Structure 1
């Protein structure tokens, strides 16, 4: 393992989904693949709440969103546009239905392995945006519901390393319902943050 990676304990996760979305900035996503590890620092998140019209949980639990209603700290993975996946961290109490979307990470280890899964893409865009991130880390529906606080799992969260920069807050990207809610968090000035340049400052 290229870095000292300490798994996050479930008890350390803030119980409030908005606080969790902000707290996850600077933490790491770790994905064991082909005998090695790929991943990096989280630099952009969005919170989705149980009473949130933009959230998959707004109309209640179903087969697609059931991982949102589980224990805090599990993965919620879903497909968009028939080809991309999005990776979330379940963020509420059991049966609450909240999640934090991981929108972007700054790659730190396993860059060659990630690039091989994103053939032809701009290296700066390797994990910039939720679909690209999942493609680079081979995250798909098989990982839906996995415990992200287990170091020997197929996908997990780890403590951060270098100090993070100032954290920005903004409305979420690419939604129409509750579009003005300031529930997006990101490391200011980090080029790996998704969206236009104005969304990174």
Structure 2
């Protein structure tokens, strides 16, 4: 499989979020296929970059192709990939289908339910061993490995858990995947673009 190059992340956030569905995400050889993402840009009131740069969100203002790792509700780590044609854009990796290093993920999470290992951004980071030390790291170098591209049927819908920017249909997930964090029935299907 071909590794994802940094040029890939220089596209708009919606395109990157769609095209990450079906890509393999490994951290030190542990991970799986991305099955759910959400897009955010600097003009989006739900984005961490919307109110400007701070010490906490500095990585999201960095170059495309780097990780932005943040805490959700002060509890869970979340992995975002910095991308976009303008600064301040990122794609949240919401869920993967575990396929490599499953035993390590089970040990980190303390559960053996394969479906629940990585179905949500906090669970995913715990299973992959991602914490704040990953913030700002380049995605084209170890411990990260992003590779492949798959033409898959995806579904599109509203992002999850937002009080602002709810109208944007910037959540993308693999149709029929049992590994997504929350399925939303009856929304439109689209083909991803290679």
Would you say same fold, with TM above 0.5?
yes
- How far apart, CA to CA, are the structure 1 residues paired with 2:120 and 2:74? 16
Residues 1:185 and 2:172 are matched in the alignment: yes
Counterpart of 1:38? 30
Contact 2:35 2:173 in 1 (8 A): yes
Counterpart of 1:29? 25
Unaligned runs of 5+ in 1: none
Count of residue correspondences: 188
- Deviation above 4 Å: which 4+ runs of structure 1? none
Deviations for 1:135-176, whole angstroms, at most 9, x for unmatched residues?
A: 0000000000000012xx12232224xx45311100001111
Residues 1:147 and 2:129 are matched in the alignment: no
What is the CA distance between 1:198 and its match in structure 2?
Answer: 3.2
- How far apart, CA to CA, are the structure 2 residues paired with 1:197 and 1:185? 11
What is the CA distance between 1:93 and its match in structure 2?
Answer: 4.4
Equivalences for 1:1-201 in 2 at 5 Å?
Answer: 5-13=1-9, 15-32=11-28, 37-93=29-85, 96-120=87-111, 122-150=113-141, 153-160=142-149, 163-196=150-183, 198=185
What is the CA distance between 1:28 and its match in structure 2?
Answer: 1.3
Aligned-pair RMSD on alpha carbons? 1.9
Deviations for 1:108-146, whole angstroms, at most 9, x for unmatched residues?
A: 111011111110363311100000000000000000000
- How far apart, CA to CA, are the structure 2 residues paired with 1:19 and 1:86? 20
SS of the equivalent of 2:185 reads: helix
In structure 2, do the counterparts of structure 1 residues 169 and 156 end up closer, same or farther at CA, with 3 Å as the change threshold?
same
Unaligned runs of 5+ in 2: 190-194
Contact 2:9 2:84 in 1 (8 A): no
SS of the equivalent of 2:156 reads: strand
- How far apart, CA to CA, are the structure 2 residues paired with 1:39 and 1:158? 12
- How far apart, CA to CA, are the structure 2 residues paired with 1:159 and 1:195? 25
